[in-house]
Each structure stands twice: as C-alpha cells, then as structure tokens.
Amino acid sequence: MTDHLVVTGHGPAAYRLVEAVRERDTENRWRITVLGEEPRPAYDRVALTSYLTEGADLAYPAHDERVTLRTGDRVAAIDRAGRTVTTEAGLTLRYDALVLATGSVPFVPPVPGAENALVYRTIEDLDAVRERVARPGRAAGVVIGGGLLGLEAARAVQGLGAETHIVEMAPWLMSRQLDEGGGAMLRRHIEALGLRVHTGAMLERVEPGAVHLAGGTVLAADVVVFSAGVRPRDELARAAGLATGPRGGVVVDDSCRTQDPHVFAIGECASVDGQVYGLVGPCFSMAEVVADRLLGGAARFTGADLSTQLKLMGVDVASFGDPDADALNVSYTDPIAGTYKRLVISDDAQTLLGGILVGDASGYPTLRAYVGASLPAPPEQILFGGTEAVGGSVPDATMICSCNNVHAGAIRSAINGEGHTDLPAVKACTRAGTGCGSCVPLVKRLLDEELTAAGVEVSRALCEHFDHSRAELFDIVRVRGITTFSRLVAEHGRGRGCDICKPVVASILASLGNGHILDGEQGGLQDTNDHFLANLQKNGTYSVVPRVPGGEITPAKLIVIGEVAREFGLYTKITGAQRIDMFGARVEQLPLIWKRLTDAGFESGHAYGKALRTVKSCVGSTWCRYGVQDSAAMAIRLELRYRGLRAPHKIKSAVSGCARECAEAQSKDFGVIATEHGWNLYLGGNGGMRPRHADLFATDLDEESLIRYIDRFLMFYVRTADRLQRTAAWIESLDGGMDYLREVIVADRLGICAELDAAMARHVEDYTDEWRATLEDPARLRRFVSFVNAPGTPDPTIAFEPERDQIKPVLLEVVTP
Amino acid sequence: MTEVRVGPALAPARWSAVCDYDDLPPERGTCALVEGRQIALFRTHDGSLYALANRDPFSGANVLARGIVGSRGGVPTVASPMYKQVFDLATGRCLDDPAVAVATYGVRVSGNRVQVART
C-alpha cells in the first residue's frame, strides 16, 4: 500500500524535496505527484542570469518514473478535511501528505504605472526583458532595487546592450548584506563598469519611456525591471485556513509542518519563527527536513547560515556569519585595490562572528568555515594576508557548503571512510560544492590534507602511456639525452602514445633544442597547429599570424599584410596581442602566403605553438607625455630574445612605459612596468577564463638584471610545469609560491641558475625562423597539400560566404548522436 | 549468358592506386581523393595501413588525416585535431562516443603502390 505525496509548486526547493524523498524511499512507500504552475519543469533559478548572458540550459535532470509531474497547472484550492487538492484545470487529487512549495512573487511597489514594468524571476520574465531591450533603437534600462537580485538583473540588462540605471531606496547598495563601507566600495566597482547608481532614491511613478524619482529626477527607460524583493505566495494556505507569519509565509514548526499534520511548507513560502528565507541553502535544508520526516525521521530545521558570496559583474562580494553582531569590528579599506574587508569578532577578541568582503572574496570559504570558532590568526593578518595566513585545519563541525548543509566532518568521512580520492567523487558523495560552487577550493584543500595525511600518493601520470609527470619526463629527456619519442616510450613508457603525450614530448624536445620541429620523427608528434605552423579553424582552414614584435610595424609591412590578405581572399582581424590574424587559408596556400610574408621580412609569430606569443607594449617615453622609459624598445628586445621558446603552455608578456599601465602587463605571464629608476617585474598574471593579476617579483631593476630574472623564470617554468599549466597556476602550485621562486631565481637556492642561464643562451643562439626554414626545404614542404594524389586540388568542401565585406566559413553539418 | 547480380557487400573491390608507400609519413595521416571521396590514410608504427573517411563527424570538417596517431589500450587510434575525439583506426568507431563511427575503407600495398578499395 503506497501513500500519495502531492507537491504544489516545482521550483528548486520542490525539486530537491522530490529527489531527497526518492533517494531515501528505498521501499517505495511514497507515490509522488508534483503540480507546477510554470510551463516547464524546475530549473536552476540561482543561475537565472546565465540564461540571458550565456544562453545556459538551466534544466535539472528529470525525476524518476515514480514521480508524476504536471506542468502548466496549479492548485486552486485545498480541502483539508477531505485531504484533496483541486487544480485550476479541474483535476482533484487525494493526498496523504501535501507539501506547499509555492515560492514567492516579486514585490512590485504600488506606484502609478508599475503595471508597465517587468519582473525578474522566471525564464518567461527573462524572455520578456530580452525582447524589450532588443527592440531597435531602444537602449535605456532602469532596475528598481539595488539588492542582490537587483544587481543581478542590472548586470543582465546591461549585458543585453542597454544603458542601465539602478534605483535603490536604501542609502547604499545591498543594504541587507553590506554595511555602509562595503556598499560604498561595491558602488565604486559597479559605476566603473558603466552602470549608473541612484541610492536613497524614492520611486514616484513609471511612465512609458521614463521613470520619475522623488525630487524631480527623470530617467529614460525603455525597459523597467522591478527587483526589489519578493513576497511569499501564501494565498492558497490562507484560503485553506492555515496561519501565516508576520512577514507573510505559511507558519511551520521546526519539522516544516503547518498546524495541519498532513500539510508541510518549504522554501520561500514558509515562515519559520517569523522568518522567511530567500537563499537557496535554507530552502534546500527545509526540503531535506521534510523528506526525512516523510520517511519517519526526526530531522529539524534550526535556522540557516545566511552567508552569501557572489561575483557581481566581476566584483567579488561576500558576507558571512552575522556581520551585524554588536561586537568588535576590524575593518580595512584599500581604495587602490578596490577592496573592503571587515571582520566581526567577539568582545574577548577570540571568536569570529561574521564579516564582509568586497573586491576580493578569496578568503570567504575559509573564513566562513571559522564562524563561531576561534580565530585562526590575528585579525590584521587575515585582513592583509588573505587566506594563506589562515593555516591549520578547520574543525569537523564547521560548515563547508552552506548550499547543501555539508560540514567538514562529512567531507572527511567521505574521504577516509568511503575512500573517495578525487574531487568529483567527493562532490558526488557529499554534494558539497554542487550548489553555488564557492566552497570547491576549500573542499579541494580538505581532500588534499586528508590524502596527504593518509599517505595516499596522488597520481601524476601524464596519460596511459607514461607514469611520469611532464616535469619528470623533461628531466629524463634532458639527463639521458633522449632525442626521439620512440626511444622515450620504449624505455620509459608503453604503447605508441596519444594526442596528450606526443605534443608534450614534442614540446620538451623543442625546448631542449633538437632542430626543426617538423624534421624526422618530431614532425609526427606535433598537434595539427604545429604540424602546419598555422592555427586550425572550425572549417578545416588555418589562420596565419606573422610576428610583429612589440606591436610596432612599418607602413610598408602593413601594406604587405593587406595585399597578401586581399590576394588570397583571407578574413583579417586585429588580435588582442597587437598583431594581425588572417583567416581562411587552405593548407596548400600556407607556403605561398608565407613566401610573400618572409620575402617582406616577416617571421613566424608562433601563434600556433605553446610558445612565447607576443610582448605587447605601449608607445613609451619616445612619444608619450607620461612615459618614463622606452617600453616599445624593451618589448621588442624581449620578444626577439624569447621568440620561438617552446613551453608547457603559451606565454604572453607586455611592457608598460609608466605606472598608468596601458599595456596591461599585470595580466601577463611576465609583465614589465617602467619606473623612474628602472623596471618593475611582475610574474604569473593571466587573462582568459581564470583571470589573475601578476605578482610583483622585483622592483627598479636595470635592463640586465631584468633580462636575467626573466631568463631564469622562463627556463625554470619550461622545465618544471605540468602540461598545459600556465605560469599563474604553476606559481600557485609551487610550495612557497612567489617567495620560493624568488629564492630560486635571485638567491640561487637550488644552484641551477648557471644551468638555466646557459639553456636560455643556447635558445637565443639557436633560434631560426621556422617558416623560413620550412620554405627552404622541399621535404618539409611536402605535407602542405590537401590530397596526396592531387596536390593542386583544394578541399572542395571548404566554402565561404560574405559577411561585413569579408569572408566567413559556410556552416558544416555535424552529427548529433 | 547469365548475369549474376551481387549486393554491395559481395561486390569485388576495385582498387585505386593513390600514392607510393613512401609518400605516407610514419605514424601520421595523409589524405587522398578517390572519385570525389576524401579518404584519410594512416601508416602506423609497425608499418600497417588503415583508411577512414576523412570527415570528422563532430565538426563536419575534413580533417581526420591531420590528427595525432597513437594507441589506446593496444588499439591503434587517431585523435581528431578539431575537438580531440579518438577513433579506432581499424573499425572507425569513436572510442569517446560509441554512438559515432566513421566509414572504413580497404587499403593494401601492391609493389610500392598504395591502393584504396572503391565500393
């Protein structure tokens, strides 16, 4: 005999409830029916904005077959005496347990014209916002609400191309989470991104095309989005005679049960101790409590950790514990770095109670874990030094993942008890890190700590063919003087290699100077880009980037590039690294193109290689009124020195002529910034997916010291980094980080500096232009044909169509398995 | 005279010579054009030859011949240079997505000439 569980609503909390019941209900006691008002099953509402900005698919995986989901219909009435619900479509269902998970609705203040505005809660709402912004010639948006959701909405509206204003009634942004100092720092960041902020502003009325504020301010607005909080949807419960709380919401006890023993309420529509929760973490906890209760458990909901961390338009914001506690405050504002940090500490200065971080929230996962525990380090050390200052292990009872209510102890037992040894397994087992993801670094740290303590060796095998890491292979090749893949795999590996180990070995052989990369067996190891000395594009054609050292180029050379591109019908684009990329070349065209380019004095730009790409520069003291050194000349000198150096990953660099940093040197693997007295060297910067500012390595260097340090840095990186590890991640992985690197490079702690210097001298000496050397050798040129039996025939499937006066590839058909 | 009709599988292969054996670089692919079809030829470490359709099913581009040749668990393979899916050279099966396979062709050496079976 099964019981019938009816769930009204299908948002994240309802979804979590159903999954939790199915997971625990091993004897199939419950048959489940879910009635959802939205036209689609539950989706990840926390990530809503990514639907607009990235077109993300937010759908959760479907429930199993014991769950009946009815979308596009909602419960219209509850008959508690008869234990039935009736839907708007007229369906009547009897229940043994009913869970209200009706969520909330956006609050729309009762001002004239509000009905013309949009809200920001469902996928349908977002579609409406997009449609409104996308109308031609319309590009002004106003978001009402400067809280968490309002800022999210503003980011999305701006991302759609609208000039966006934020109107907030409170005196500062995110007033529920931040204090005044934090709000002010956040505002600076947000305004720097081009958003206009109006705080302490009263909304008077909304008119077509405009928003009127008290005091006479009128903002143009083609789209107005209300994101000023939510109200629990408790009308169904109220009509059924259930009590509601002071701030709305169905009153429930700590088992999330209403006054009717057969009716529960979870998520945003529930009121616990007069409190209504809007964060996903507490809503999930309530779902878990009810699932446990439905299966005879005694779980209780005892309030929630309201810590939040988010990245708003690239700005880190975090609040943890109780930042409003009436206790000692230690705060630190750095207007240059744009950071604000505040710790709240108990009166005896022993216990961390909460805090706020703006601009740099890297310490959040660790600090949150210490809330309620004794301080891991003196407060000033935490504020200045970040998490590295926070040593030691967190206690078992500390919350690691507040989205899923996972404590450190649970993670430790997943590792030590159940034997999980990698991050995906630990995440799957404990659910830690599967919500907002902010605690993943902390989970990883716990994992590493436990594995190290247990003496488990983490596998560093490159692939199935080698048990060694890249750094170990580098040493084997170097010390034993191995010059072929065949010998290396025969003596130190197994099988015949793959697309992982072969390019690694090719790179090692090239770094150690084994002649032209296409000669002999080396040619077969190269990835297609290195194999054709060009960059493969999606339709099978290649792109060509000649070297333009420092971004400095003569008019005559510019004209040659233009003529070559026009003659071969190539698409041209200026790259981010001050060069020109030409797209759409077929393999048999590459030597013809490069003949023209080398004749005009161009060299390979190594855009295809894991090698030095470019040393970007600003114009420097020769022209610029503010420049203090000749940055262009320095960039050219560095680029010519390190051109062609093969490495574990690409290497980027830049030189700025003054502290204004127009060349963006701090985002590069090695960056140089001129000072009055010499040059400052920055190491380990990165753009791309995981941006990281470079760290200052040394100051006021003369030219020779600068070059000596860069020589050693690059050679040490080439020798010891992992496959595809950029310098940023490599430095982070070094035990001792930047300080250790300084000891190796400056103080020669390992006694290898002479060796590193000699290796770089050899590289500089041996450099030859790969493309010129290729054109001079018929054997190397043989590969540049589309067909071995029809060398002059181009690939007939490659086709282009016009777009904005240039070519673009005709879309190719692909399989959809 | 009696005409015997046979199905395609039974049809005797007609062989087209495409190049010399020495034109095929060891442990690398080469593309040949046979009656309008692009066929990727691979010469592995032990000297064996394999022939697959050159079209990479995941990108639609004719690039499989430009992938890295190697092995996975003893099976000779090529990795597409586009999105790196690995294919079994002998069967054409994609080892990273068993629902996908590319066509295979007969290939042999006669004298020093490499011949591809036309079907």
Q: How many CB atoms within 10 Å of residue A113?
A: 16
CB A178 within 8 A of CB A168: no
Our CA-based measurement puts residue A186 at a distance from the nearest CA of chain B, in whole angstroms, of: 40
Domain membership flag for residue B17? no
pLDDT in tens, A323-350: 777 788 888 888 887 888 888 888 888 8
Digit-coded pLDDT (tens) for A645-684 = 999 999 999 999 999 999 999 999 999 999 999 999 999 9
Report the relative pairing of strands A67-70 and A30-35 from DSSP bridges. parallel
Q: Is A574 on the interface with B (CB under 8 A)?
A: no
Min Cα separation B49/chain A (Å): 15
* pLDDT tier at A98, thresholds 50, 70, 90: very high
Q: Which residues of A are less than 8 Å from B101 in CB distance?
A: none
CB half-sphere exposure, A407, CA atoms < 13 A? 8
Q: With bands split at pLDDT 50, 70 and 90, how would you rate the model's confidence at B4?
A: very low
- C-alpha R_g of chain B: 15
Establish if B4 belongs to a structural domain. Answer: no
pTM over the 0.90 mark: no
DSSP A165-232: EEE-SSSSTTTTT--HHHHHHHHHHHHHTT-EEE-S--EEEEETTEEEETTS-EEE-SEEEE-S-EEE
Domain range enclosing B78: 23-118
Residue B93 in domain: yes
Q: Do the Cβ atoms of A373 and A351 come closer than 8 Å?
A: yes
3-class DSSP state of A394: coil
Greater pLDDT, B99 or A372: B99
| Closest C-alpha to A656, from A608, A709, A711, A617 | A617
- The pair of structure tokens assigned to A552 is 């400095």
The more confident residue out of A309 and B44 is: B44
Give me the residues paired with residue A374 across strands: A351
d(CA A295, CA A26): 10
pLDDT value at residue B3? 35
Mean pLDDT of A23-32: 90
Residue pair A716/A708 in contact (Cβ under 8 Å)? The answer is: no
> What digits encode the pLDDT tens for the residues A395-433?
787 778 877 788 888 998 888 888 887 777 788 788 887
Query: Are residues A497 and B79, on separate chains, in Cβ contact within 8 Å?
Result: no
Dihedral sign for Cα atoms in the order B13, B14, B18, B19? positive
Question: What's residue A385's pLDDT?
Answer: 61
The per-residue DSSP string of A559-611 comes to HHHHHHHHHHT-EEEE-TTS-EEEEEE-GGGHHHHHHHHHHTT--B--TTSSB
B72 within some domain? yes
Q: Which residues of B touch A815 (CB under 8 A)?
A: 57-58, 100
**Given a cut of 60, is residue A390 above it in pLDDT?**
no
CA B107 to chain centroid: 8
What residues of B are in contact with residue A495 (Cβ under 8 Å)? 70-72, 74
Q: Is A323 helix (H, G, I), strand (E, B) or coil?
A: coil
A435 or B41: which leads in pLDDT: B41
B1–chain A nearest CA distance, Å: 39
User: What is the mean pLDDT of the segment spanning A144-156?
Assistant: 88
Q: Are A564 and A582 within 8 A, CB to CB?
A: yes
What residues pair up with B31 in beta bridges, in sequence order? B40
ipTM of predicted complex? 0.90
The structural domain count of chain B equals 1
Give the up-direction half-sphere exposure of residue A62: CA atoms within 13 A in the CB hemisphere: 9
Judge: B86–A498 Cβ closer than 8 Å, yes or no.
yes
State the distance between the two ends of chain A, measured CA to CA, in whole angstroms: 41
| Phi, psi (degrees; rounded to nearest 5) at B59 | -115, -20
Task: Give pLDDT tens digits for A735-771.
Answer: 778 888 999 999 888 889 999 999 999 999 999 999 9
Residue A500 distance to chain B (closest CA, Å):
9
User: Which pLDDT band, with edges at 50, 70 and 90, does A621 fall under?
Assistant: very high
Indicate yes or no: CB of B70 within 8 angstroms of CB of A787.
no
Quick: pLDDT tens for A48-59: 888 887 777 888
Given pLDDT bands bounded at 50, 70 and 90, which one contains residue B10? Answer: very low
The CA distance from B116 to B113, in Å, is 10
Mean pLDDT of A514-541: 93
SS3 call for B23: helix
The CATH number of the domain where B91 resides is what? Answer: 2.102.10.10
Find the range with the poorest average confidence among A398-402, A574-578, A692-696, A745-749: A398-402
Touching check for A815 and chain B: CB below 8 Å?
Answer: yes
Task: For residue B50, tell me if it sits in a domain.
Answer: yes
Q: CA A549, CA A486: separation in Å to the nearest integer?
A: 37
pLDDT for the residue numbered A419 = 81
Which of A486, A496, A814 is closest, CB to CB, to B70?
Answer: A496
Backbone CA torsion sign across A700, A702, A705, A710: positive
- Residue B7's pLDDT band (cuts 50, 70, 90): very low
Q: What is the pLDDT of residues B69-84, one digit of tens each?
A: 999 988 999 999 998 9
Q: Specify if B37 maps to a domain.
A: yes
Q: Check B81 against A497: CB less than 8 A apart.
A: no
Cα gap A59→A245, rounded to integer Å: 32
Which of 475-514 (A) contact B at CB < 8 A? 486, 495-499, 501-503
SS3 content of chain A, % helix, strand, coil (to 5): 35, 25, 45
Which of B37, B68, B112 to probe the A interface (max A CBs under 10 A)? B68
Residue type, A366: T
Inside any domain, residue B64: yes
In the predicted model, what is the mean pLDDT of residues A536-559?
Answer: 96
Domains within chain A, CATH numbers bracketed: 3-105+232-294 (3.50.50.60), 108-228 (3.50.50.60), 305-389 (3.30.390), 393-454 (1.10.10.1100), 470-526 (no CATH), 531-609+785-817 (3.30.70), 636-768 (3.30.413.10)
d(CA A546, CA A772): 12
What is residue B5's predicted lDDT score, i.e. its pLDDT? 36
- Rounded to the nearest integer, the mean pLDDT of chain A is 89
Whether the pLDDT of residue A394 is over 60: the answer is yes
Residue B29 lies in a domain: yes
Say how many C-beta atoms besides its own lie within 10 A of residue A348's C-beta: 8
pLDDT in tens, A601-618: 999 999 999 999 999 999
Q: How far apart are CA A178 and CA A189, in angstroms?
A: 14
From CA A548, how far away is CA A551, in angstroms rounded? 5
Residue B6 confidence (pLDDT) above 50 = no
Contacts of B32 in chain A (CB under 8 A): 787-789
Q: Which percentage of chain A shows pLDDT scores above 70?
A: 96
